[in-house]
Amino acid sequence: MDILFDNVIAFRPQPKIGRSYGISIKYFDDLSSEVVKRLDYQIHLFVQQYKNLDNTWQLSFDKDELFINQHEPDLVSEQLAHLAMKALFPVKVDVNSKNEVFRGIANHEDILKRWEETVLKMNDKYEGDLVELFIEKMSEKIGNKHELLHALANDMFWQTFFHPQYFRYEQNLSKEMVFEFPVLPYQLIRFKGKQSLSDGYSSLGTYKVGFTGEAEIPAGTPYEGRGNGKAKMKLEAKFDLDQNGGLLKYAVINWGIEQQDGEHISRSNRVQFSAYEIATENKINKEENGVERADEPKVSSAKKGFWERMLG
């Protein structure tokens, strides 16, 4: 199916398919190219199409195999966050032909049940004021489906996957855009710039989309005042979208600080996010509630980590 017509990319993923992504987030030293922190995890997506609704899909996202600096979570704070992640995912949302979420979180009740079970495990294994505070704050966040959806917007993969791309481009295959991306903790930064679509398909059978933009450095951040106040945040993103349906296949996003000293312009990368498709195995399952279901995709070569073994 050719999804590009009149300079429009339409979101029309094939129903009953699964796709998995390997995610890597690298944080660089402020003065060098050394990686000072690295997060790796996997996202498993499977697509379900409503039989009686045109151009409406349900997307289910699961998240696992979390590694911090190439190790499983070992600090108590990391372990608590990982347990909360296991309760939150899978997350299901309904989307339209622009890949826009329009009915909020579809499985909020299931998430609440998983969270109740997780709280019992946390109280059984951990104690202390910080643990109680963590449970209290997470319970408030998870208990409100609107707050929970808002919190997901601070996830790099979430913002990458749902970044607006399914619209009509101008004749030169470009468009002025805003890209909101959480390069700072719990803070979406609005990068203003230009998004462009390559002419024709790549050798991978994908549409290539690129974005370049900049933003002012927010007050109160470690980067405030750089370059005598003339420094800016720069963001460059590259996407590969599947020719047959428009699903994301690959993405690389680089964020850094650019500052000018006279005629000399220097650029330092601070964060690199990458998502790449990895091999999966999935099969068709039964229909449920008017949605054509598929089994959750499984990574053919993945091993179970300690927390996966412990939690089952």
Strands (E), the chain: 4-5, 8-9, 17-28, 35-49, 57-68, 91-95, 101-105, 174-184, 187-197, 206-215, 232-242, 248-261, 264-278, 280-281, 284-288, 291-294, 298-299
pLDDT of 102 > 50? The answer is yes
Relative orientation angle of helices 76-88 and 108-125, to the nearest 10 degrees? 150
- Provide the pLDDT for residue 309: 33
pLDDT of 4 > 50? The answer is yes
pLDDT in tens, 130-158: 999 999 999 999 999 999 999 999 999 99
| Pairing mode, strands 17-28 and 35-49 | antiparallel
Cα 73 to Cα 63, 70, 77, 79, 81: the distances in Å are 14, 9, 9, 6, 9
Q: How far apart are CA 155 and CA 188, in angstroms?
A: 10
Contact between residue 213 and residue 190 where contact means Cβ atoms under 8 Å apart: no
Structure token pair of residue 84 = 């909360």
Radius of gyration for the chain, computed over Cα atoms and rounded to the nearest angstrom:
21
Q: How far apart are CA 226 and CA 106, in angstroms?
A: 44
Q: Is-cis flag, bond preceding 73, omega within 30?
A: no
Contact between residue 154 and residue 182 where contact means Cβ atoms under 8 Å apart: yes
Amino acid at 66: L
pLDDT of 301 > 60? The answer is no
pLDDT of 227 > 80? The answer is no
Out of 166-175, 208-217, 229-238, 301-310, the most confident range is 208-217
Contact between residue 229 and residue 265 where contact means Cβ atoms under 8 Å apart: no
Average pLDDT of the chain? 84
pLDDT of 280 > 90? The answer is no
- Provide the pLDDT for residue 306: 35
pLDDT of 91 > 90? The answer is yes
Q: How far apart are CA 310 and CA 7, in angstroms?
A: 50
Tell me which of 112 and 246 has the higher pLDDT: 112
Q: How far apart are CA 147 and CA 91, in angstroms?
A: 14
0.75 exceeded by pTM: yes
For the chain, what percent of residues have pLDDT higher than 90?
56
Q: Mean pLDDT over residues 8-30, rounded? A: 89
Q: What are the beta bridge partners of residue 287?
A: 292
Would you place residue 302 in the very low, low, confident or very high pLDDT band (cuts 50, 70, 90)? very low
- Provide the pLDDT for residue 109: 96
CA atoms within 13 A on the CB side of 280: 22
Closest Cα to residue 215, out of 251, 252, 178, 187?
A: 178
Q: Mean pLDDT over residues 291-304, rounded? A: 41
CA 31 distance to own-chain centroid: 27
- Provide the pLDDT for residue 229: 62
pLDDT of 307 > 70? The answer is no
